[in-house]
Amino acid sequence: MGAKAAIVGAGHTRFGALDAGPRALLRNAVDAAFASVDRGAERSVVDEAYLASLGFGGWQIGNSAAVLAEELGQPGLPTTHIENACASGGFAIRAAVAALGSGAADLVLVAGVEKMTDVPSGRRRYWLGVSGDTEWERLAGLTFAGVYGLIASRYLSDHRVGPEALAEVAVKNHENGALNPNAHFRKVLRSDQVLRAPRVADPLGLYDCCPVSDGAAALLLARADLARRFTDTPVYLEGLGAGSDHLAVQERPELTRFVASRRAAEAAFRAADVDRGRISFLEVHDCFTIAELLALEDLGYAAPGEAAEITLSGATRRTGRLPVNPDGGLKAKGHPIGATGVSQAYEVFLQLRGAAGARQVPGATRALTHNVGGAGATATVTIFAAG
Amino acid sequence: MGAKAAIVGAGHTRFGALDAGPRALLRNAVDAAFASVDRGAERSVVDEAYLASLGFGGWQIGNSAAVLAEELGQPGLPTTHIENACASGGFAIRAAVAALGSGAADLVLVAGVEKMTDVPSGRRRYWLGVSGDTEWERLAGLTFAGVYGLIASRYLSDHRVGPEALAEVAVKNHENGALNPNAHFRKVLRSDQVLRAPRVADPLGLYDCCPVSDGAAALLLARADLARRFTDTPVYLEGLGAGSDHLAVQERPELTRFVASRRAAEAAFRAADVDRGRISFLEVHDCFTIAELLALEDLGYAAPGEAAEITLSGATRRTGRLPVNPDGGLKAKGHPIGATGVSQAYEVFLQLRGAAGARQVPGATRALTHNVGGAGATATVTIFAAG
């Protein structure tokens, strides 16, 4: 079936250790989204709003959707808070597209936010850890870095590859992030720096892990048939897919494939009815370097173990044949949990309109976003096309 | 427009202080929902699942949607956690109906759960309080009982009515709850007991407040045109509405009307295109007795101040002309936050199929549910009709 929704505006704050609280971050992203609409959009025309957030910085934990309506300047508006851990943004976009597709709304606001620095450290650890399985992982002390470290060990061992492939993910994404004015890290790295960095969860070192970031991103999504009221260059959502998996990694038959990502990708490609070769670039969920390798395989761009070789070949660089994470990815751009899935779509909006500046992927016409919750317990994949 | 969705199965646990944890509660409600489908439904036929919960008992706080897919026995399924405080259930139903209406799904599971007793008391207070405004209410020590106490004071003063109308809400709902085998409280109360009970937040006493309950409820929602595959007596969702308001009560022009409820009701009645007089009974959000009076007014069944008189007249009793909360309401049935909105629809499913036993509203053909998040910051209204 044809696209039911299109992005007609998008806004983004800087990602990083910021002074602003979650309310102000949301407001800034929403304001920027409205400012980006070519022919303008009245705030009163928005029919619904969806908020993606894990914990709103531990501040407004319950009923935080109401804050989004307030910061939009439309208290009264139907507004829904969606929480699927690090995949909250992808699932919020999906819910918004369902609202548009069902005829319940013509124009919808989706915003994601997280405030993770400058909150009491005990609470910060709590909010990061709560998305893993409580009984078998969190209470046993197994952090996300720990889980991904186990996955990376298995991957390197099964496929007899060295840590250089992981390091190359970091090098590439930092190179891209250096060109992104919103990125948390804008410093380029050399492979030997990544390989010699202090270990976090072997084989993952400091530069294999995404940072703890504050930030927000917002999208204005319109019904596809109304999109040209707002702009001549909407970006269409051609296919959406989602999936889940056992929450505890120990329940899964394999460590190095995420069933949730695979199901999401299959559904998205089926809905969009396009071949993988027609996607110009990917925005994948690289919370740790190993996650980018898994993503290439789960999304169907590499056979098991091949992602390492493809990455080392330079194919996934911004100038390669399949650019991955031209905005720097979670690794360099940062990962404010609820904002991440929305931020991926923001990057697609810029790129497919040729507005990504120094980091533009030349001639990009289609893109895919891949957003993962926790260590693969939930995931979304969305395929976008230029208007 | 015609109904896009119908309930074809529904399940419910007991509400109360239960031994079971949130996983087991969810499983029991989901199993009961499947068992209730007249012609049966395979679990593998479910396309999506939506989980309504505030904090999952403080246990699996992040990514808890994945637990629902696991307890359904379908890890892999797209699953979304929706959190709009006490209105999580209503908003989850709304998201599920959008998924059905957009063509993305044919059969959807919606489940709500909360585990609120037998968790460390510090965490329990935290989870209850987090749905109020953090800056102006929670951190200032203003609890929900406090907010509703202020609202009740203003209501009684503005309309020159006595606390007997509040007491009558409790008496009526306990009378109904006594007939509901799933209710937390099955004890009838006399008006003088309510009026003489220890004060919680004057003019609200102990029996003006709903209890802290554990419990779960689940619904199977099908596309309207497919509903008769599952049963000869589906219950159709004719109209859905939602709204929001300033999170902090101090920002609102009036204490005694909830803009969110009013907007939700207007939208639901517009979508269903039915008159208020054609609704056989109401399930309203009576977290405190005063909330039931506000609901009657916000839903358009009484002018400001009139709800007290209508209630004292006996009209809202199960045998009156406009029965309200035949299942006992939050007041007597209990209020496991995320489960409440789903539980309201469960009651409608029984009643509109003539299966509510001793508490059956005779001849019920249409019903309305009203679910409020926090002290009115978010709300949904849904109108249902017998098949």
DSSP string covering B152-200: HHHHHHHHT--THHHHHHHHHHHHHHTT-TT-S------HHHHHHSPEE
For residue A62, which residues of chain B lie inside 8 Å, CB to CB?
A: 54-55, 83, 85, 127, 130-132, 374
**Mind telling me how many Å the CA of B386 is from chain A's nearest CA?**
22
Can you give the pLDDT at residue B138? Answer: 84
Instruction: Report the alpha-carbon distance of residue B84 to residue B101 in Å, rounded.
Output: 22
Q: What is the ipTM of this complex?
A: 0.97
Query: Which comes out higher in pLDDT, residue B54 or B3?
Result: B54
Can you give the pLDDT at residue A287? Answer: 98
Can you give the pLDDT at residue B118? Answer: 81
Secondary structure of residue A124 in the 3-state scheme: helix
H or E segment to which residue A107 belongs = strand A107-114
Known catalytic residue: A335? yes
Query: Which of B368, B309, B377 has its CA nearest to residue B341?
Result: B368
Q: Is the pLDDT of residue A309 over 90?
A: yes
**Sheet strands (E) in A159-290:** 199-201, 204-205, 215-223, 235-244, 281-283
pLDDT 10s digits, B184-215:
999 999 999 999 999 999 999 999 999 999 99
pLDDT above 90: percentage of residues in chain A? 90
Instruction: Report the alpha-carbon distance of residue B232 to residue B345 in Å, rounded.
Output: 18
Burial (CB < 10 A; 0-12, 13-18, 19+), residue B355, is: exposed
Instruction: Report the alpha-carbon distance of residue A269 to residue A264 in Å, rounded.
Output: 9
- Beta-carbon contacts below 8 Å between A and B: 193
Lowest mean pLDDT among A113-127, A311-325, B88-102, B116-130: B116-130
Nearest CA in chain B to A379: B78
- pTM greater than 0.95 (yes/no): yes
pLDDT classification of A134: cutoffs 50, 70, 90: confident
What's the rounded mean pLDDT across residues A201-209?
Answer: 98
Q: Residue type at B278?
A: R
* Mean of the per-residue pLDDT values of chain A: 95
pLDDT 10s digits, B285-326:
999 999 999 999 999 999 999 999 999 999 999 999 999 999
Query: Which comes out higher in pLDDT, residue B16 or B56?
Result: B16
Lowest mean pLDDT among A53-67, B13-27, B98-112, B359-373: A53-67
Q: Are A62 and B138 in contact (CB under 8 A)?
A: no
Instruction: Report the alpha-carbon distance of residue A151 to residue B338 in Å, rounded.
Output: 34
Instruction: Report the alpha-carbon distance of residue B118 to residue B17 in Å, rounded.
Output: 8
Catalytic entry in A81, A174, A285, A335: A335
Q: C-alpha dihedral over B61, B67, B69, B71, to 10 degrees? A: -140
pLDDT classification of B1: cutoffs 50, 70, 90: very low
pLDDT classification of A60: cutoffs 50, 70, 90: confident
CB–CB of B81 and A76 under 8 A?
Answer: no
Q: Is the pLDDT of residue A57 over 90?
A: no
* All residues at 6 or more sequence positions from A39 whose CB lies less than 8 Å from its CB, including other chains: A229, A230, A231
Instruction: Report the alpha-carbon distance of residue B301 to residue B323 in Å, rounded.
Output: 12
Q: Nearest 5°: CA angle at B384, between B383 and B387? A: 155
Region of residue A57 (phi > 0: left; psi between -120 and 50: alpha; otherwise: beta): left
Instruction: Report the alpha-carbon distance of residue A13 to residue A216 in Å, rounded.
Output: 6
Q: Which domains does chain B have, with CATH numbers?
A: 5-120+213-236 (3.40.47.10), 133-211+241-386 (3.40.47.10)
Instruction: Report the alpha-carbon distance of residue A218 to residue A206 in Å, rounded.
Output: 30
* Mean of the per-residue pLDDT values of chain B: 95
Instruction: Report the alpha-carbon distance of residue A156 to residue A174 in Å, rounded.
Output: 22
CB–CB of B78 and A133 under 8 A?
Answer: no
Q: Is the pLDDT of residue B181 over 60?
A: yes
For residue A70, which residues of chain B lie inside 8 Å, CB to CB?
A: 246-247
Instruction: Report the alpha-carbon distance of residue A194 to residue A190 in Å, rounded.
Output: 7
Can you give the pLDDT at residue A83? Answer: 97
What's the rounded mean pLDDT across residues A292-307?
Answer: 98
Phi, psi (deg, nearest 5) at residue A318: -60, -30
Can you give the pLDDT at residue A18? Answer: 96
